[in-house]
Amino acid sequence: MSLARTDEQRLLAENLRRFLAEENQFEHHRQRLNAIPPQRLALWPGLVDMGVIGAAFDEGSGGFAGDARSIAVVMFELGRALAIEPFLGSAIVAGRVLLHLTDAAEREQQVAAMIGGERISVLAHDAGFDPFAKPLLKAVRSGAGYSLKGRVRGVRHADVADDFLVSAQIDDGDVAIFRVARSAIDSASHRLMDGAGAADLAFDGFVCSDDARLKLSEPAMAVISDALEWGLFGLTAEAAGLIEAANEATFRYLGERKQFGVMIGSFQALQHRAADMYMAAQEVTAIVNLAIDALADGVSPRRSVLLSAAKVLADTAGRRVGHDAIQMHGGMGVSDELNVSHFGRRLATIRAEFGSADLHRQRFGCDQDLSDILALQDSDEARAWRDEVREFTRKHLPEAIGRKGALGLEINKEDYVGWQKVLYQHDWFAGAWPQEHGGQGWDLRKQLIFAQESTLNNAPMIRPYGVSMVGPVIYSYGSDAQKRDHLPGILSNDVWWCQGYSEPGAGSDLAAIKTTAELDGDHYVVNGAKMWTTEAHWADWMHCLVRTDKSGKPQSGITFLLIDMKTPGIEIKPIVTIDGLHHTNALFLDNVRVPVGNRVGAEGQGWGIAKFLLGNERISIADTGPKLRLLRHVKALHARAMASADVPDALKTLMSTRLADLSIQLMTLCALERQYIEAWADGAKFGAEASILKVRGTEILQAITELGLELEGPLAAAFDPEDLHRSPFEHFDEIRQASLMGLEYLYGRCWSIFGGTNEIQRNIIAKQVLGI
């Protein structure tokens, strides 16, 4: 994988990867980390000669790039190769400080020396647990200079630096940055977990002249914050490279190592761990891409919180991958002689740099407008479409339905039909359909924005069984008669559909279906049972998988039928789910006669058609719009709890941190969804991405509902299904509001089961990443 987008960035990545593969072989890497400082920099001259240091600076500053993506490309490759070099600390962080020098000649000279490898400067900034706070070091006026008092702890790469850019508080509480030569001060060197060198710098009345104080174009703390945020970004990109390399090593090992006579990669427990590691890597990549857009947006609060989110995710994913990679390598995983332990050590070191994950969860906070952050990735056209969908929904959504959506009340069939007929009247209902079949030909990007913005503004999700599932099947595989008979009713919402897939013995394993269809003249006689048939009690028709052949492979004997629900022999029995509602059903078919003309495609073609149908669910698989709306509701509960004197302060802090973390997870899910949509829209093949969105989407949903319940406090257990049927114009007291949160929690347990359990989805992911 590469973060490169342009030909120049791809060439940079390829050349750097080739250089590091040759010059940073693992044994050389180990020896260098145990060497004296000059040998620690064995890679640095090569990076200088290649011009890599110049990637951190634009052409006007003497470099060749200076943009976030080029910097991310370099950091990703350095991470993959375990190159413990001072590019981040010097070129990115200290380099950002130097770019703020007011003297143009000095700025040009200092940057040129850095790019040319003549000087390594490192920012020495110690603010305790919060790097964005003012430095602990004090600077007191002393004659024509400043006397520095205190120490700066844990300065990374202090052993190879030529000088330090030292931050200190001056007399009036302001902050200044001083250039101090390494040879001029006392330092106590020590090693870091990843093998890099560091030092504590001791300033016991050390005097700096006025000339040593950097003259900056902005206040020193603003310059430091900018440099640290670029550092956060660089760390995240490096973590992405480390995680990819650790995953590659682990997945390869799972396919080679045998135990009890079989590859350990065949053990499902390890497959599921591998799936989680892969999902973590995908999330980090998504957040890096989002952070690139944020940095292009300029210095802003939105940029700051997003880069904190990136650090949280890098630390979280790094912990999972670093620990699991070591664990799954067994005894070799904890050996210094295997690179996987070094990946784990570097990922652990990253967690200590630029503030902890919990600090950045608090920095991210609970009040972020995620839709505003995600709009960073919108083109002008997409932004205009988002605005249009938002305004359309606010204008045309019936008030009662909107209030139901806002409160979380049950949406009944009449509500769905009412809203979908409004959409149909404005030619928006089947927007994804081709125009020749009555649609608008929306691409995947427009479909995603419509799904997000309409539901964010309290509209119900469009019911998929007709318009998103069987409709595309009919216009893609159906006969002219089937198109003529069924497409108009789907479009107008006068005909309601359900899906007959799952069976008592074939839930996620659809190839195991046993419902049979035997040919009798010009009819099929269908016998069997379908389970968990959502909205069958509302349906006029069902699209159904049946078995027409038992002789070959299970998948090859499946056929796709359209069944009129009024046909004699169909019995529907309601299933009340955990939330006390009737969503789904058991369906029994006893000698149900279905005309051969209702078969879509040929006999035995049903498996391929079913896969095509499921592919059309890609847009809604993550359901990010409803999740963003639910999070907004939970934030309101959180605000109420924060204002309450009954909630202990320690609990408020804990709940706030959890809410920030869930906000970051959901934001990352949205970014990952966008990344996949963009790839699919550009023609990428459909792989395990939908499984990733299903797993992470349902896990995040369930976690949000759990926090929502806890924020209800003593009323967390309140639940009465009758509350879900109340008029949206009634007054809902605290008990009834808590009851509605109970619905979200209880029904949320279903999401990780239906549509293919999360365990099955992890199997699918593991099959792709392990090649098994």
Q: How far apart are CA 102 and CA 529, in angstroms?
A: 78
Please, where are the H alpha helices in 332-470? 339-352, 357-364, 370-374, 380-396, 399-407, 413-425, 444-456, 464
Displacement of CA 491 from its chain's centroid (Å): 34
Residue 732 · residue 724 · CB < 8 Å: no
Q: How far apart are CA 483 and CA 475, in angstroms?
A: 6
Assess whether 617 carries a catalytic annotation. yes
- Residue spans of beta strands (DSSP E) within 219-340: 258-259, 262-263
Q: How far apart are CA 625 and CA 451, in angstroms?
A: 6
Write b or e for each residue in 622-647: b if 16 or more Cβ atoms lie within 10 A of its Cβ, otherwise e.
Answer: bbbbbbbbbbebbbebbeebeeeeee
234 exposed, middle or buried (CB, 10 Å; 0-12, 13-18, 19+)?
buried
Q: Under 8 Å CB-to-CB from 643, ≥6 apart: which residues? A: none
Q: Which of 23, 410, 617, 706 is catalytic?
A: 617
Per DSSP, the residues of 578-641 read TTS-EEEEEEEEEEEEEEGGGEESSTT-HHHHHHHHHHTTGGGSS-HHHHHHHHHHHHHHHHHH
Q: Under 8 Å CB-to-CB from 752, ≥6 apart: which residues? A: 695, 698, 699, 702, 758
Q: How far apart are CA 47 and CA 387, in angstroms?
A: 46
Dig out the tokens for 724 from the structure: 């879900």
Bridge partners (DSSP) listed for residue 124: 166
C-alpha closest to that of 177 among 142, 118, 134, 144: 134
Q: How far apart are CA 298 and CA 100, in angstroms?
A: 15
Per DSSP, the residues of 477-542 read H--HHHHHHHHHHHHHT-S-EEEE--BTTBSS-GGG---EEEEETTEEEEEEEE-S-TTTTT-SEE
Q: How far is CA 661 from CA 308, 358, 521, 713, in A?
A: 11, 9, 61, 20
Q: How far apart are CA 71 and CA 240, in angstroms?
A: 13
Q: Under 8 Å CB-to-CB from 355, ≥6 apart: which residues? A: 129, 130, 131, 132, 311, 363
Q: What secondary structure letter does DSSP report for 470?
A: I
- Active site residue ranges: 617
